[in-house]
Chain A
Amino acid sequence: MTTTRRLVALAATAVIPLAVLGIFFVLPVAGMLSKGFWPDGHLDLGGVLDVLTRPEIRRAVWFTVWTSTVATLLACAFGLPAAYVLHRVAIPGRIWIRAILVVPFVLPTVVVGVAFEILIGDGGPLGFLHLDGSPDAIVAGLVFFNAAVVIRVVGGAWESLDPRPAEAAAALGASPHQVLRDVTLPALRPAIVSAATVVFLFCATAFGIVLTLGGLRYSSVETQIYLLTTDLLDLQGAAALSVLQLSVVTALLLAAARARRTPDAAVARSHVRLRRLTRGDLPALAATVVLLLLVVGPIASLVVESLRVDGAWSLANYRALQTPGSHQALLVPVTEAVVNSLRIAVDATWMSLLLGLSVATVVTRRSRSRSERRLRGVLDGLFMLPLGVSAVTLGFGFLITLGQPPLDLRDSPLLIPVAQALVALPLVVRVLVPALSGIDDRLRQAAATLGASPTRALLVVDLPVIWKPLLAAAGFAFACSLGEFGATSFLVRDDRPTLPVVIFRLIGHPGDLNYGMALAGSVVLGGTTALVMLLVERLRVPSVGTF
């Protein structure tokens, strides 16, 4: 095939995901931005720049930068030792601890916000620390979520790290400390940089956790966008912030790709025997225990609190989920929201799988020319963008561009699933790409020379390798969709709400019953996503959660 024809074939495979991305991502985001840049039909750049000089905006930017930086450093400080302990040292219950530490990654932000409130709020087990409403609580929440990313990404790399260079250094007289500094950390550098970048990205665009823990006193760029759009209707300000966020995110993604250099962890990995626990591992073990407490503490207090009514143990909060709450909190019972959530999650899952599979196929096929390779690289980066674009921007963009002819989708039952599928898409792609790129193209060629048709080759060569990652990706997409809050909160209709939206609304309404129901709803939501994650973890797909 000529280069041109190959490029055409490539474009053909990419056309569906590109169309979806164009209509449901680029168009809404562009629509949102144009509202800000062309407020009265003509370009107003000065006004946009003026926004960035406002004191509250500058405060939000500064707040975002420092909380994200500190949270990233802490997530690495605790996540790296934990990654080592859980992937290289033989300790009892290793698999379970690993699963528990990874669960927060997909836990709905609303649930985590509620859990932290209970733990550190007045009268909570840690109320005496007076962390409630402080930036420290927000940082702790961010670390809670993102240590999982560090553990997965760096742990995966550490697990398959060839032990011999380290042994060579030890045999030359290097102490364990020197081995770590001179051999192990340099070898892990791409994974660490990649993990830190993604963590910073997640921290900087975190929405639910900052909104629930920061309240009105502290706002980040993301929550500021939300406030500007919904409460103040200042679209110019929101657009300016969105552009700022989008450019920083793009720059970070590019930097991560550059720092990564080495390709995604491929399927072929060296198998390393675990070491026995020694005294030298104690600091790392201590860090793991601290992290475990940070993860288990809020979740445990949430579960306990949801089972307490008027100082006694009771299931009343759970029984109340069949009602719409007190003080007209909701239009429908919470159980109906649960059903809605599940139905939407199923739709979002198949959509993101379909999109993710075609994107991953396009990105991993072997390139024959430089321009082809570059094109695939650009596509790869393009589909990562939803990872960093404010879900709020996306949700609001949906509202203003897809709510009128020619694309009036506001009442379509597929609108929310599409938005959630796009949010989950980068995760799905990153789970599938390493698996697909690990398949040697020559295996398909060998199958072809033995007389297998392309379909047959797909069944024989690709399917056995891809089915586990595909299931894992489905689990990820399902869990992400269940917990998605930022975009959904814009698109959801009050008579057809999802569970996270219902929980957020219940917290905002007065009344003990509403609060209790919010707790019970959080446990149900958190429990479901955790269950899905544990099942994914059981699949033992090595590259789940690598970026």
Chain B
Amino acid sequence: MTALSVRDLSVSYDGTPAVVGADLALDEGRVLAVLGPSGCGKSTLLRAIAGLESTTGTVSWQGHDLSATPTHRRGFALMFQDGQLFSQLTVAGNVGYPLRIRRTPRAATAARVTELLDLVGLSGFADRLPTTLSGGERQRVALARALAASPRLLLLDEPLSALDAGLRQRLADDLRPILVESGTTAVMVTHDHEEAFAVADDLAVMRAGRIVQSGPIADVWRAPVDPETALFLGYARVLDGPAAEGLVEAAGLPRAPAVAMRRSALTVADDGPLAGVVVGVRTTPGQLRLVVDTVLGELDAVASLDHRLVPGDAVHLRVDASRMAGLAGRSEGAEPALD
């Protein structure tokens, strides 16, 4: 059943709207990622759900309106972007804090702390102070502390964005099993679509204070509502006009005025239907990235590394429909994403 329900929620700072009429619904046990560029109001939305902002509209849990419930009685734990560990407390002290303020017996607290530190992979860190931890370790402690509150809803504010790239990838992969294992319902805010795909079941895309699209992550991915959303979801380019028509036809997709495509939607294959001439080649660790001049204009394509291509080579391209999405709206001034 629907656990969290947000209706027509708005927040403004001194008259400047930060969140406008947001609607969200989340079933128990699922993880929702709110994806949007920085400054789009997604963190404000999260803080509003936690009860840290003054709002109009409603936030309710299993049908109960929480408007009059202060933050500490909502049973929602919020994990901050930079962890916000209490620097005067040890790791165990931090993780045990929500239990202590609920007057949990000492032995039960200690046992739960040990269990949670195991869960986040930090056994043996109990007596360390936060200042002695690395960024990734600190985020793990913050996660354990948030879970210790046994929240009915866990709110994660860009939990991984303060970390460097490799660590972010690893923690993103760890986060999903931890959430699933503990059966936690969660809302995670992020600007990184990879992170959203790694962790979430559902996706809401936010732009300029508004939620522009939401639903199960695969549905949103398959049918972005407009070019901006497509680009933000990680599509490399949005084409319209004759180029879009030609590609949609070549891929066997239903007609659409515009089409979003990943770089890998076009691959070099001798039996491909689309012919062209290579005009640019760049080598990456996994593949060759090409720019190919075709009858539909210049298009992005990839080739496996065993192709030895140089500009001027003639190639044939295969079109992979599963890596493209038809768009209802027209692209207006959409720039290619920096993939």
- Could you tell me which A residues sit within 8 Å of B by CB distance? 164-165, 167-176, 178-179, 182-183, 186, 273, 276
Q: In this assembly, does B235 line the interface, its C-beta being within 8 Å of a C-beta of chain A?
A: no
A180 to chain B, nearest CB (A): 12
Q: Given contacts A165-B86, A186-B88, A273-B13, is CB(A171)–CB(B97) below 8 Å?
A: no
**Given A178-B101, A276-B54, A170 and B71 touching (CB < 8 A)?**
yes
Please tell me which one of the listed residues B50, B52, B97 contacts residue A182 in the complex, with CB atoms under 8 A apart. B97
Closest chain-B Cβ to A230's Cβ sits at a distance in Å of 50
Interchain CB contact under 8 A, A183 and B149: no
Which residues on B sit within 8 Å (CB–CB) of A182? 86, 97, 101
Nearest first, the 4 closest Cβ-Cβ pairs linking A and B are A171-B78, A168-B84, A172-B98, A170-B71
Judged by a CB distance under 8 angstroms, whether B102 is at the interface is yes
| B97 surroundings in chain A (CB, below 8 A) | 169, 172, 174, 182
Task: Tell me the bound Cα distance from A77 to B70 in angstroms.
Answer: 27
**Interface hits, B115-160 → A, CB 8 Å:** 145-146, 148-149, 155
Q: Is the CB of A168 within 8 A of B80?
A: yes
* Residues in B65-91 with C-beta less than 8 Å from chain A: 70-73, 75-78, 80, 84, 86, 88
**B70: chain A residues within 8 A (beta carbon):** 170, 176
Among A165, A172, A176, the residue within 8 A (CB) of B145 is: A172
Chain A residues closer than 8 Å to B146, beta-carbon distance: 171-172
Partner of B98, one of A173, A175, A176, A183: A173
Jot down 19 A-B pairs with beta carbons below 8 A, ordered by A. A165-B86, A167-B47, A167-B71, A167-B84, A168-B84, A169-B86, A170-B52, A171-B72, A171-B76, A172-B77, A172-B145, A173-B75, A174-B72, A176-B72, A182-B86, A182-B97, A186-B88, A273-B13, A276-B54
> How far, in Å, is A179 (CB) from chain B's closest CB?
8
Interchain CB contact (< 8 A) of A164 among B76, B84, B145, B148: B84
A328-B151 Cα distance, complex, nearest whole Å: 80
Residues of B within 8 Å of A276, CB to CB, are 54
List of B residues within 8 angstroms of A167 by Cβ: 47, 50, 52, 71, 78, 80, 84
> Does the CB pair A170–B88 fall under 8 Å?
no
Taking A168-B78, A172-B98, A173-B149 as known contacts, 10 extra A-B pairs with beta carbons closer than 8 A to each other, sorted by chain A number, are A167-B78, A170-B52, A171-B78, A172-B72, A172-B101, A172-B148, A173-B77, A174-B72, A174-B97, A174-B98
B86 to A171, Cβ gap below 8 A? no
Cβ of A173 and Cβ of B86 under 8 Å apart? no
Give the shortest distance, in Å, between A362 (CB) and chain B (any CB).
31
Docked CA distance A186–B149 (Å): 22
**Chain B residues, Cβ within 8 Å of A165:** 84, 86
Residues from chain B with Cβ under 8 Å of A173 in the complex: 72-73, 75, 77, 98, 101-102, 149
Number of chain B interface residues as a range: 20 to 34
B residues engaging A (CB < 8 A)? 13, 47, 50, 52, 54, 70-73, 75-78, 80, 84, 86, 88, 97-98, 101-102, 145-146, 148-149, 155
Residues of chain A with a CB closer than 8 A to B77's CB? 171-173
- Chain A residues within an 8 Å CB radius of B145: 172
Residues from chain B with Cβ under 8 Å of A168 in the complex: 78, 80, 84
Q: How far is the CB of A519 from chain B (nearest CB, A)?
A: 47
Distance (Å) between the CB of A482 and the closest chain B CB? Answer: 40
Q: Which residue of chain B has its CB nearest to the CB of A181?
A: B101
Residues of B within 8 A of A164 (CB): 80, 84
Nearest CB of chain A from residue B215's CB, rounded to whole Å: 27
Q: Give chain B nearest CB distance to A394 CB in angstroms.
A: 41
**How far does the Cβ of A501 sit from chain B's closest Cβ, in whole Å?**
50
Given the known interface contacts A183-B86, A273-B13, the answer about A174 and B101 at a Cβ–Cβ threshold of 8 Å is yes
> A170 with B72: in contact, given A182-B97, A273-B13 (CB under 8 Å)?
yes
Residues of B within 8 A of A172 (CB): 72, 77, 97-98, 101, 145-146, 148-149
B13 surroundings in chain A (CB, below 8 A) = 273
Query: Roughly how many angstroms separate A170 CA and B149 CA in the complex, as a whole number?
Result: 11
Interchain CB contact under 8 A, A175 and B84 = no
Residues of A within 8 A of B54 (CB): 276
Nearest residue, chain A, Cβ from B98: A172
**Considering residues B75, B84, B145, B149, which has the most beta carbons from chain A within 10 angstroms of its beta carbon?**
B84
Closest B-chain residue to A168, C-beta based? B84
CB neighbours (8 Å) of B148 from chain A are 172
Min C-beta distance of B155 to chain A, whole Å: 7
CA distance A179 to B86 in the complex (A): 11
Residues on the B chain within 8 Å of A174, using CB: 72, 97-98, 101
CB closest chain-A residue, reference B50:
A171
B86 touches A175 (CB 8 A): no
B155 touches A171 (CB 8 A): yes
**Are B52 and A171 in touch, CB under 8 angstroms?**
yes
Instruction: Contact check, A171 vs B101: say whether CB atoms are below 8 A apart.
Output: no
How far does the alpha carbon of A164 sit from the alpha carbon of B77 in the complex, in Å? Answer: 13
Q: Report how far A167 CA is from B77 CA in the complex, Å.
A: 10
CB-based contact A175/B80 at 8 Å: no
* Chain B: minimal CB distance from A157 (Å): 16
Q: Which A residues are CB-close (under 8 A) to B78?
A: 167-168, 171
**A residues in contact with B149, CB < 8 Å:** 172-173
Contact residues in B for A178 (Cβ distance below 8 Å): 72, 101
Residue of chain A at shortest CB distance from B78: A171
* Shortest Cβ distance from residue A171 to the other chain B in the assembled complex, whole angstroms: 4
Q: Which of A168, A179, A182 has the most C-beta atoms of chain B within 10 angstroms of its own C-beta?
A: A168
A residues within 8 A CB of B50? 167, 171
Q: Which residues of B contact A186 (CB under 8 A)?
A: 88
CA distance A173 to B145 in the complex (A): 11
* Contact of B72 with A175 in the complex, beta carbons under 8 Å: yes
Chain A residues within 8 Å of B52, by CB:
167, 170-171
Residue of B80, B88, B97 with highest tally of chain A CB at under 10 A:
B97
- Closest Cβ neighbor of B13 among chain A residues: A273
| Chain B residues positioned under 8 Å from A176 (CB to CB) | 70, 72
- What is the CA–CA distance of A172 and B76 in the complex, to the nearest angstrom? 7
* Complex Cα spacing A164 to B72, Å: 14
Complex Cα–Cα for A164 and B80 (A): 8
How many angstroms from the CA of A173 to the CA of B13 in the assembled complex? 25
Please, how many angstroms separate the alpha-carbon atoms of A178 and B71 in the complex?
13
Residues of A within 8 A of B84 (CB): 164-165, 167-168
Most buried by B among A164, A167, A171, A174: A171
CA distance in complex: A273, B73 (Å)? 23
A170 to B151, CA, bound (A): 12
Chain A residues with Cβ below 8 Å from B98 are 172-174
C-alpha spacing A178/B73, complex, angstroms: 13
| Nearest CB of chain A from residue B127's CB, rounded to whole Å | 19
Q: Which residues of A contact B88 (CB under 8 A)?
A: 186
CB distance from A100 to the nearest CB of B (A): 27
Least CB distance, A275 to chain B, in whole angstroms:
9
Complex CA gap A165/B50 in Å reads 14
Residues of A within 8 A of B101 (CB): 172-175, 178, 182
CA distance in complex: A168, B52 (Å):
10
Report how far A165 CA is from B78 CA in the complex, Å: 11
Contacts of A170 on B, CB cut-off 8 Å?
52, 70-72
Most buried by A among B13, B54, B75, B101: B101
Instruction: Give the shortest distance, in Å, between A191 (CB) and chain B (any CB).
Output: 15
B73 neighbours in A (Cβ, 8 Å): 173
Q: Which of A165, A170, A176, A273 has the most CB of B within 10 A?
A: A170
Shortest CB distance A183–B (Å):
7
In whole angstroms, how far apart are the Cα atoms of A176 and B71 in the complex? 10
CA distance A170 to B71 in the complex (A): 6
Which residue, of A170, A172, A178, has the highest number of chain B Cβ atoms within 10 A? A172
A349–chain B nearest beta-carbon distance, Å: 40
**CA–CA, A174 and B73, complex, Å:** 8
